[in-house]
Structure 1
Amino acid sequence: MKKHAIIPVFIPHRGCPNDCVFCNQKAITARSSDVSPEDVRNTIETYLPTLTGRGLKTIELAFFGGSFTGLPIPEQSAFLAVAKEYKDAGLIDKIHMSTRPDYINRDILDNLKTYDADIIELGVQSFDPDVLRASNRGHTIEDVYKACHLIKEYGFTLGIQLMIGLPGDSPAKSIASAKEAVRLSPQLARLYPTIVLRDTRLLQMYEEGIYQPLTTEEAVSTTKEMYRILDDAGITILRVGLKSTDLITEGEAICGHTFHPAFRQLVEGELAKESLENQLHQLLENAGETEPQAGNFAFKSNGHSFSNMIGNAKRNKLYFAEKYPGIKIRWQLDTALEDGQYSVIKY
């Protein structure tokens, strides 16, 4: 049962005068009008009846879409006052926001503390300075380090958002960014393969032939390695890829084949496949075999991870059936296994 829910408040392009090459905030927030504190109250009142009484452990109010701390502090305070009212009443548990690394300083954090905010996610995107420049991010790596250290000093929960396949990026650079993120010890992370949207400089760059988006396979391959690095470090990965509901219409994603409604499952399915195949070969090696010619095997996971074990559109089942036609595989549940843990047994 789901134990965590988010009440999202979108503030489209508010607080952010920068124009990153990939950004069309109207498209990715599906909102174009300004948001008022009263809108925040109305949003909370709309969501709460559907959330209360469901045994949820945590209900968060999250400000997404723009760079929240880039707003003038009086505007931030007006939004936060509404959030704090509901938190003080015990109706929500946490206040969550996303922002840019260069919009963090002590005055801002002092104000967030006043309103009992909890979680700050930074849109870092990359730890490579050339990628940041080519993407017109408008902040430096030093801004990222400073912001992360301040956020942790003040006791906020830190989240880091990374993108894959930006201009000037490479698999090696993306993987290095994941490793650098681990060094800064965030509690949360998001991984977003770059998608080419309408009305962006990135679309112009694609049309001019100076930017080539990743294929789905390339995006999955790199994201998988970044996911593994973050997960092994105990960092909670909140999201992998945009949701379909993050786009106004299906036509918003132009040419970046990285958009897939089940992108996270593609990534987690690849990780499951690697684990299963590694264990299969280890069993064969222990038995003195080089290739599985015949035999019966059980591939196991718990219920939550079963769809990843099978793979999106059953691609893992098809992969093993095609690559190892001589063996018989039973796909089974094992409640003793943890999420993301898989077991291969020969019987």
Structure 2
Amino acid sequence: MKHANISIFVPHVGCPNQCSFCNQRSISGVQTVPDAAFVTKTCKDALKNLGEHSAEAEIAFFGGSFTAINRELMVSLLEAAFAYVQNGSFKGIRVSTRPDAINDEILSLLRRYGVTAIELGAQSMDDEVLRKNLRGHTAQDVINASHLIQQHDFELGLQMMVGLYGDTPETALQTAKKLIALRPQTVRIYPTVVIKHTMLAELYEQGAYTPISVQEAVQISAKLLELFESSGIRVIRLGLHASDLLEHDLLAGGYHPAMRELCEAELFAKSIFTVIKQHNIPQGDICIKIPKGCISKAIGQHKSNLKALLNCGYRAKFIEDGTLTGYNCIIQQQSKEVEHCI
């Protein structure tokens, strides 16, 4: 079974400031703050839907800096969730928070209530980018919090954004390398979107900020996806969750409801055309072997890669090969067979 989160969003409570990009109610699609009763109902509903697979799922508190919210509210939410961890219904609890809202006392409390994984919203490891986007913490805060989380034996997750105000592909790449050095188990990559009623929206409307386009987001995010995966780090989310509220409030930026699929198609295209170029494969009919379960990704959304190959004179057929992994491919043409490994 694919990993599942029982997601409970806590929109914009506890945050000490308003970041440039943040309108949590639009991003999460949630308008109200949950209470213990809501957590209990969510867990009961998830048990019915997941059945025997529930024991592999985590209850996840996402949204507004969980460890910075009112302590009484935080404990009440944890208590309601922990009851389902104690009885074996779910395997643990995952929370997301700010790097400057972590200390030994908080980590001890989270451990007491069954939290197993903590995700930090790093967003950037460039202090100037953090300052321009009103994050209120530094890159060193990310490093300190990450080390503290690891010392307390929690699973560490890190979240980064690309295309922030003042960000460039180069600073995003440097952020990824610095996050890799912290050895997290998981990473989330979020291309920046401009949402109504945010500082970025004001800068965009004034012409002071040029948002990242979808194509630019795909290009840089695909590079980051490849970099993290080649370092043994799971990318558990790429792009914001689709929601009617988000799409209603969206003004511009790198949003696509299938962002990860676009990035994976980009990496398969890179692999395929690298083989063609390196081995001077002549135009004509080719058979492309790709890893099992990846045919739709390799063909691309709306058959984009298939069409790109045809435009270059290649009539391609895709087949699965259980010996291949990642974005590797083997191209056959008559008796010739060549392989590309990433």
TM-score, normalised on structure 1? Answer: 0.92
For residues 179 and 19 of structure 2, the distance between their equivalents in structure 1, rounded to whole angstroms, comes to: 21
1:220 equivalenced with 2:218 (yes/no): yes
The residue that corresponds to 2:37 in the other structure is 38
Pair 1:118-2:116 in alignment? yes
Does residue 255 (structure 1) correspond to residue 252 (structure 2)? The answer is yes
Q: How does 1:1-347 map to 2 (within 5 A)?
A: 2-53=1-52, 55=53, 58-245=56-243, 247-248=244-245, 250-256=247-253, 258-284=254-280, 292-323=281-312, 325=313, 327-347=314-334
Letter in 1 for 2:45: T
Cα deviation code 1:230-260 (max 9, x no counterpart): 1110100011111212x5152211122x111
Deviation at 1:338, TM superposition (A): 2.7
Return closer, same or farther for 1:82/1:57 CA change in 2, 3 Å cut-off: closer
SS at match of 1:136: coil
State the Cα distance separating 1:17 from its structure 2 match: 2.6
Aligned length: 334
SS in 2 for 1:259: coil
SS, match of residue 260 in structure 2? helix
The share of aligned pairs that are identical, in percent, is: 37
Q: Distance in 2 between matches of 1:322 and 1:57?
A: 48
Given that residues 35 and 73 in structure 2 are in contact (C-alpha distance below 8 angstroms), is that contact kept between their aligned partners in structure 1?
no
Distance change >3 Å, CA 215–CA 111, structure 1 → 2: same
Aligned to 1:289: none
Partners of 2:85 and 2:123 lie apart in 1 by 30
Which runs of 5 or more residues in structure 1 are unaligned?
285-291
Cα pair 1:126 1:174 within 8 Å, conserved: yes
Query: What is the alpha-carbon distance in structure 2 between the residues aligned to residue 255 and residue 295 of structure 1?
Result: 40
User: Aligned partners of 1:56 and 1:317: how far apart in 2?
Assistant: 39
- Partner SS for 1:52: helix
Taking a change above 3 Å as real, the CA distance of residues 56 and 113 of structure 1, as seen in their structure-2 partners, is closer
* Cα separation, partners in 2 of 1:161 and 1:114, compared to 1, 3 Å: same
More strand as a share of residues: 2
The amino acid across from 1:185 in the alignment is R
Cα deviation 1:71-107 (Å, max 9, x = unaligned):
2333322211222211111100120011000000001
TM-score by length of 2: 0.94
- Whole-angstrom distance in 2 between the partners of 1:57 and 1:309: 33
2:28 maps to a residue whose letter is: T
Deviations 1:1-35 (A, max 9, x none): x4321111111112113100100011112222221
Q: In structure 2, give the amino acid aligned to 1:87.
A: V
Alpha-carbon distance in 2 for matches of 1:136, 1:249: 21
